[in-house]
Each structure stands twice: as C-alpha cells, then as structure tokens.
C-alpha cells in the first residue's frame, strides 16, 4: 500500500517522510562499515610492519571532481524547487558525468599504485596498500549505487515527476550524494593523515 495514505492518522514521529528516514538509517550503517575499516586501519598500523608510501597525487584531482558533483546535484535540487525541470535534468546529468569521471579517476589511481608496485594482494603486498584498495573500492561500490539512484531520479524528471511539489526523490538523492562526497572527503583526509 502507498505509505502516504497512512500519514494523517499518525503521531508526528520525526516529522520526516519514512523513506527519508530509511535513507538516514542506511547512511548510518554505511558509516559503520567505514568506521570499522578506518579503526581497523589504525589498530593494524600501530602493530608495525607497515609499508609507508606516498599517496598518488591523482587522489586530489578525483576529490575535486567529486566536490564539484556535490555542487551540481545541489544546483539540480534548487532548480527543482523552482520548477525549472530542464535545469534539474542538466544538473543530474552533470552529476552523473562527474560521478563517472570520479570512478575513472579512482581506477587510474589503482593503475598508478600498481605501477609503483603497491599491490592489493600477493607476495609483495603489505596491509597498508591493501587497505587503500579496500577503502577506495568499497567507497566506489557505494558511489555506483548513488549513480543508479541518480539515474532513477533523472528518469523520473523526464516523466515530470520531479518538481516543487514532489521533492522527495530528488531530496533523497541529493542527501545521499552529499553523504558519499563527505564520506570520500573523510577517507581522503584520513589517508593523508595516516598513510
């Protein structure tokens, strides 16, 4: 049944739409995954036998790309509030393009790492390198789910289902995309400080 039918006879709760609340909870569980990885990283590093290496410079480029994509999705969101459907679509498409560019950039980071003989697994690998692959890889996986979400909302906007009176889906995708950006920023700063 449609959730919106239920609302009037309800306690106000948090005042958010249930789907919005579900999204917040999912972000909490994603945060826990990375909290586990980064704390495992620190614990493991303290034990020694830790290969030190410079982070690939390209990571700064990908970070800037992802920050830009946060701006474009926010622009799409503001445009939706003003019922400028065309700009919503442009904003979402730009975000998808930047998101894909970020993923390609991350792939090239891995290529750089391999060229510098920092391997994920195998005889020559060290947990310090493996952790870098895991952090970027698991983040990239979640970014792909964000891209799928963006495409769904884009499709909705082509069906005229995204405008100032239907802000739920674009609001959710905006929150999720900012979350993925913030998560990456955290990981990047974490790696800068602890690599």
Cβ-count burial of 174 within 10 angstroms (0-12 exposed, 13-18 middle, 19+ buried)? buried
The one segment of 11-19, 54-62, 94-102, 152-160 that binds another protein by CB under 8 A: 11-19
Sign for the CA dihedral angle at 181, 186, 191, 192 comes to positive
| Shortest distance in whole angstroms from residue 108 CB to another protein | 20
C-alpha to C-alpha distance for 116 and 50, rounded to whole angstroms:
16
- Least separation, in Å, of the C-beta of 60 and another protein? 25
Contact characters 40-59, another protein, x per CB under 8 A: x--xx--x-xxx--------
71's tokens: 């701006």
According to CB under 8 A, which residues from 135 to 194 bind another protein? 138, 165, 167-168, 171, 174-175, 178
- By CB under 8 A, what part of segment 83-142 binds another protein? 120-123, 125-127, 130-131, 134, 138
Report the distance separating Cα 130 and Cα 153, nearest Å: 35
Q: How far is the CB of 102 from another protein (least distance, A)?
A: 20
**Number of residues counted as binding another protein (CB under 8 A):** 57
Give the CA angle between residues 117, 110, 107 to the nearest 5°: 160
At residue 163, φ and ψ (nearest 5 deg) are: -160, -175
Q: What three-state secondary structure class fits 166?
A: strand
Please name the residue that has the structure tokens 């579900």: 22
x/- contact string, 57-86, with another protein (CB under 8 A)? --------------------x---------
Site residues for another protein per CB under 8 A: 1, 3-11, 13-22, 24-26, 28-30, 32-33, 35-37, 40, 43-44, 47, 49-51, 77, 120-123, 125-127, 130-131, 134, 138, 165, 167-168, 171, 174-175, 178
């Amino acid at each position: 049944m449609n959730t919106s039918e239920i609302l009037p006879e309800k306690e106000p709760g948090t005042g958010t739409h249930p789907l919005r609340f579900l999204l917040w909870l999912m972000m909490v569980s994603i945060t826990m995954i990375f909290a586990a990885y980064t704390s495992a990283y620190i614990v493991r590093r303290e034990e020694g036998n830790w290969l030190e290496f410079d982070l690939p410079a390209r990571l700064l480029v990908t970070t800037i790309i992802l920050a830009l994509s946060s701006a474009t999705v926010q622009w799409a969101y503001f445009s939706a509030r003003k019922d400028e459907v065309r700009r919503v679509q442009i904003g979402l498409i730009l975000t998808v393009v930047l998101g894909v560019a970020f993923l390609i950039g991350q792939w090239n980071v891995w290529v750089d790492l391999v060229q510098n003989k920092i391997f994920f697994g195998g005889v020559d690998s060290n947990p310090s390198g493996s952790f870098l692959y895991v952090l970027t890889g698991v983040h990239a996986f979640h970014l792909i789910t964000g891209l799928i979400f963006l495409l769904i909302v884009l499709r909705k906007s082509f069906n005229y289902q995204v405008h100032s009176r239907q802000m739920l889906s674009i609001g959710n995708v905006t929150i999720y995309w900012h979350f993925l950006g913030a998560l990456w920023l955290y990981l990047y700063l974490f790696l800068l400080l602890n690599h």
